[in-house]
Amino acid sequence: MNNAELYMEFKEECVAGLLVNRNEFSRRLKKMKKGTVIECVDGKYQIYYPIDDVKKHEQDSSESLSLRIDSAARIRFEGGLVEYEELLKEINKTRAGNCDFKVFGKLREEDVDADFFIADVYYMMQ
């Protein structure tokens, strides 16, 4: 995590998609487009679709959301799902009891899979 850089603000306008388990997330990675935002919540993955891409995916809700982290750090991640989950564990160690702590990953490539993908990971600076 020593390669994190200060990123003043993370702000994305998107639409919440599905909340899926790890296996389903792994399968869906292949269909996700560049710019899709992901959040790991209690071992499940919340998928947020870019507003431009909404019509191409099933939606639980068509309501537009603004995901935001002020004073965010950014890490460029390149690896598989196992390494991604290890990174999330390391990041979560920095939360220091903060209930509002958020971590978002934003896919940088299309046509990826669970063995290798590239994402920018944003999390709250402490």
Q: 78 pLDDT exceeds 70?
A: yes
Task: Label residue 98 by pLDDT band (50, 70, 90).
Answer: confident
Predicted pLDDT of residue 22:
96
Amino acid identity at 66:
S
Q: For the chain, what percent of residues have pLDDT higher than 70?
A: 85
User: How are the residues of the chain apportioned to helix, strand and coil, as percentages rounded to the nearest 5?
Assistant: 25, 45, 30
Span 46-74, average pLDDT:
77
Query: What pLDDT is attached to residue 90?
Result: 92
Measured distance CA(59)–CA(41) in Å, rounded: 18
Element (H, E) at 81: helix 81-92
pLDDT at 32: 92
Average pLDDT of 22-33?
Answer: 94
Residue partners of 84: CB distance under 8 A and separation at least 6: 77, 105, 117, 119
Mean pLDDT of the chain: 86
